[in-house]
Structure 1
Amino acid sequence: MKLLNTARKLSFQFKLMLFLCLFSIGLVSLVSYVNYRWHSEQMIEQTASQTQQIIEQLGTNINNYIDELYRLTLSPYYYDDIMGELVSLPSTTEERLNKKRKIESFLSSVMTLPRNEILRVYILTDNEIYSYTRTPYEMEDYDVYQDTDWYKQALQSKTPIYIPIHSEKAFGNKETSILSVARRIRSKEDNKQVLGVVKVDTDYSVIKSLCEKVEFEHRGALYIITNDNHIVYSKNKLPALDSQELIPFAVQSNATGNIIKAADGNRYILNIISLNEAGMKIIALNSYQDIILSTLKSITTTFLLVILCLIAALAGLFIFLRKFFTPLFSIVETMKVVQTGDLSVQVPLINDDEIGYLAKSFNRMLQNLNSVINRNTALVTQVYEMQYLHKSSQYEALCNQIKPHFIHNTLNTISLLIKCNEYEKAIDSIENLSLFLRGVMNVDKDIFLSTELQLVRAYLQIQQIRYGEKLSFSIEIDKKLLQTQIPALTIQPLVENCVKHSCEETRTPMHIRIHAYRNNNMLLITVSDNGLGIAPDKLEELRQNFASDNDARDNHQTIDNSIGLLNVQRRLKIKFGTSSQIFLNSILGEGTTITVSIPLDGKEEKDFV
C-alpha cells in the first residue's frame, strides 16, 4: 500500500519516463530473443537445406555409379564372337576349353582390367561358370549359385538386379564390403533363349571415395548404412557423437531437418535420404551447438549496443518532453474532441515552432476534411443516380433488341401464306401474332408463366405453318407453377434459338421439349431439341460469352448466332443478379439443351447501385 501511495505522488513525466524505460528494455529483450530464435531457425534450416543438397548429390553420384555397373553388364552384347560362344554347344573337351578360354579372356580384358574396383566377374549358366577374379576367394555362393535368390530373380527379370552391400571374404580372413549387380543374357537371334546370367562384384571403395569428397560447413558426421542398419561407411568429426547410439534414432526419425538428442545432452540436426535402388541410406548429422554459437555471439553484441543507444534516446526524449509537453497535450485534447465527430473545433496556437506548425496543419486538415465530406456526399448521390439511369436504359435497350427479331420472321411467314393462297393459315398466324404482340407490350414487366407459355405456343404454331410436320413440340409444366411470375420473353427467345439453329439447318424432323419444375427455391426451365447440336469449340465460345457478360453488340459473330440467348441472360442478370443463370449443354449430332434458373420468390431483384 505504501509503495502504491508513493507511485501516485510521482510526477506524470517521471512515471512516463519510467514506463518508457521498462517498456523499451522489455521490448528490446523480446525482440532480441525473437531475433535470436529466428536467426537460429534460419541457420538450422539453411544448414539442413545445404546438407540435404550435398547428400542428395552424393546419392545421385552413387546411383550413377550403380547405373554404370548396369551398363557394364551389357558388355557381352557388343561382342558377337562372345555371344556366339555362349550360344554354341561344344561337343569335345578341346572345344569346351577353348570356349571357356575365350569367354574368360573377354571377362578379363573388357570387364575387369579397365576398372580397378571390379573384384570378380562371372557369366553363369545352368551347367557352367565362366569367371575372372582379382581375389584369392571366389564369391561366397560359388557352388550353390543356382539355388540363390539373386540368380533366380535375374533369370526372371527383364532389367538388371542390384545385390545390396554385403560382406564376403575376398583377400583374407577379413571380410570385404562388396556390392554386386546381375543381369540375364539372352540370345541376339532368339530373344526367348536365355543363355545365362552375368554378375559383377565390386569393392565399395568407389562409394567411399565419393563420400570422402563431402565436406560440411560445420562439424558433422556422415554415414552410409544398409537397410538392415549395418554401417558401411562413416566419417565422424564430432568426437562426442556415439554413432551406435544415434543411428537407430536417425533411422527411426527418417525426416530431414529433425533435431535428435544424444544421451549426453548434445543435439544434432539430421538429414537422411534413402537410395532404394542401392538398398542404402545416407545419414548426415550436424552439431546444433556449433551452428547457433555464432548467432548467439552476434545477438548478444547487438543487444548490448541497442541498450546503450536506448539509454541515450530516452535521455534525449526526457529533455524533449519537458520542453514541448504543454502544446502537445493541447493538440491531443483537440484530437479527442474530433474523434467524437465534431470537426468544427480548432487547436489553439501557442508557439510558432514545429508543434505550432503541426497545430496549423491539423486545423487546415479539419477544414479540408469538412469540405471533402460535403463534396463526396454530393458526388455519391450523383453517381447513384447515373448508375440507376444507366441500368434502366440498358434494360430497355436489351428488351427492344428482341421485338424486331420475332416480328420480322412472323411477317415473312404470313406473307408467304398469302402468296400461296393459304388464307386460313395466314389468319391463324395473324391471330397468333396479335396474341404475341399483346404480350410484348408488357415486355418490361413480369408476367405469369402461363402467359409466357401462350406466347410460346403462338410462336411455335406460326413456325409449324412454315415447317409443317418437320416441327413438333411438347410442353410439360406442373400446374402449380403456372401462376409463377417471370420476366416477359424469357422462354420464347430460347425456343426461337432452337428453331433457327435446328429446323433451318437439317431436313430431319425436330421436336422441341419445354419443361419447367421446381428445385428448392429455384424455378428451372429447360428447352431442349434433337437437332444438329453445337460443335465443342463453338459451345465453349458461347459459354465464355455467357461468363464474360460482354455486350452482344461488340461481337458480330455473337449477334448472328446467339443474340437471343445473350439478351435473355443479360436481362435476367440485370433483374436478379447472380441468383439467375443460363446453362448451355449440347452434343454434336444429338441436340441441345438450354436451362434457365430463376428465383421463385421473384424478390431477389438486384439494386441499381
Structure 2
Amino acid sequence: MKRFKIRYRLSLFIIIGVLSTTLLGIMFVYRTQGLYEEMIYQQTAEKYLLYSQRMEEKMKEVDQLSLLIMADGEVQRALANIAQSHTTFNSYEYAKLLARKLAAYELSGHTVPSIFVSDQHQVIHSGGPLLEAVQPAQLKEYEGYAAPYKGASVWTGSEESGKLFVSLREVRQIEQLSLKKLGMVGIQVPAEKIVHESYNGMYRGSSALIIQAQGQTVYSDFTYDPLPVPRQPSAKGYDVITIEGEKYLVASFTLSYTGWTFIHLLPYGVIFERLREIKITLILIYSAVCGLLLCLGWKFSGSITKPLEGLTAKMAQVAKGNFIVEKTAKPDNHDEIWLLDRSLDRMTLRLNELINENYVKQMKLKEAEYDMLKAKLNPHFLYNTLDSINWLARINGQAAISDMIKALGDLLRASINSKEMNTLGEELEIIRKYIAIQQFRFEDRLVCQIEIDDRWLELSVPSMILQPIVENCIKYGVDARTGICRIHIGAEQRDQELIVTIKDHGSGDTDPAAAGSPAGGFGLTSINERLWLLYGEAFGVTLLEDADGGTTVQLTVPLPV
C-alpha cells in the first residue's frame, strides 16, 4: 500500500467509500423496514385489540338485557308457578304470560332477535321462533355451563352452526332472597352481527377472525381447517406465522370479561406489498449510484493527482537548491492545488530574496557587535577617570568635590547595571546617592525623608524604579513660595500588596508630558509598563494630586506569599 501512487490509493479509498456507503444504505433500508414493520405490527395489534374490546361491549349490552329479564317480577312469578306444577291450567296460563313477556322484550327496541327461557321441567319458552332450535341435550349442556356462575352471565357458541353466540344466565328467585333456581334465560345473537357492529362498519379487507373459548373454536371466518394458529396469546400481543406458504400477522388477545381468545389474522403481503416494491427500487437505485460514483471517482482522482505530480517534480528542483523554477501555466479552474503551486512559486522567489537580505543583515549584525564591544570599553574608561578626579580632589583637600564624584560614580554604576531586579534597600541607597549629588546644587533647600520599615528592605523590585520619580519630584516639586523641595518616601502594606509612596510638597504642578496620563510622563509610563509586564495590570504606578498642594506617586508591588 505504501508503494502505491496517490492516484491508486485515492481510487481505492473512493471505491471502499462508495461500497461502504452503499452497504450502509442497504443495511439502513432493511433496518428501517424492520422498525417500520414493528410499528405497523404494534398499531395493527392495538386496532384489533380495540375491535375485540368492542365485541365484549356488545356482549355486555346483551348481558344487561338478560339481567333485566331475570329480575323481571312477572318472569319470576311465572317461573315460580310453573315450577310448582306444569300440568295445571295455571301453569299453562303462566307459560303464555312468559311467552308474551319475552316477545315484548324482543320488540322493545333491543337489537336481540331471539330470547328463550327454560323452566325447572326442561321446557323452553320463547316469544317467537329461535334462530337455532335448542335440543334437549343441548339445553342440558347449556344448564351445565350456567350452573357454576349462580346467576351471573356466561357466553358460549353454537357448536351446530358456529354462527351464534349464546348468553346464558340462571334465573334465581329474588323474593325473600331465597335465590332458589327457577330456570335459565338464554339469548341467541348472530356472531356476524356482533363482529360487524364491532368493526363499526369499517372494511375488514382480507383479515380473518377466530374466537376460541376454553380451547374450542366458537367462531371462525378463516378458510383453512384445521386452524394452524397459536392457542395461547403472544406476550407482545402479535406474531408472524406461515400458513400454507403464506405469512400472516396474528394478533391474539384473551379478554377478561368473557375469557374468550380473539385471534385476528391479516396476510403479510396486504400490509407490506407496497413497502417491498419500494425496498427493491431503493436497492436498484443504490446499485446504479454506486457504479456512477466509481466512474466519477476515477476521473476525480486523476484530476487531483496529475497536478500533484507536477508539483512534486517542481519541489524536487527546489530541494536541490534551484530556486528559479518554471512557473505553471494558469489553469482553467483555481482550486487548492493551483493555489499551492502558485504559493510555491512565490515562496521560491521570496526565499531567493531572503537569502540576499539575510547576507546583508549578517554583515550589519557583525558591525553592531563590534560597536557594542567598543561601547563596553567606554564606561570603564569613565569609571577610571572619575576615580582619578576623586583622588585628585582628596589630595587637594576638596572633600565635598570628592564625595560628589564618588556618589556620581556609584550612581553611574547602578544606572548601567545589567541586573533586572534589586532589593528595595538597594534602590533606597541609589536614592540617597542621587540626593547627595543634588544637595550640592540645592544645599538646605532640598530635604528628603525616608521612612520605610526594615522588614521591607529585602523585597525584590525592578531596578532603577525609584530614581526617575525622585528626579521628577526635584524638577517639578519645588515650593514656589519658599523655594524648598521636600520629598517624603514611605511604604505601607495593604493585604498582599506593598504601596511605596513618593510625595513632594510643591505647587502641585506635574510634568506637562504627563497631562491626561494616570501614570505620568515618559519615565513614569515606562515604570508602569515594567510593573505590568512583571506583575500584571493589577499593579503599577498611580499619580495623585494632593488637596494641600504637591503630588504623590504610588508604586504598588506584590508581597511574597
TM-score if structure 1 supplies the norm length?
A: 0.43
Bigger Cα Rg: 2
TM-score if structure 2 supplies the norm length?
A: 0.46
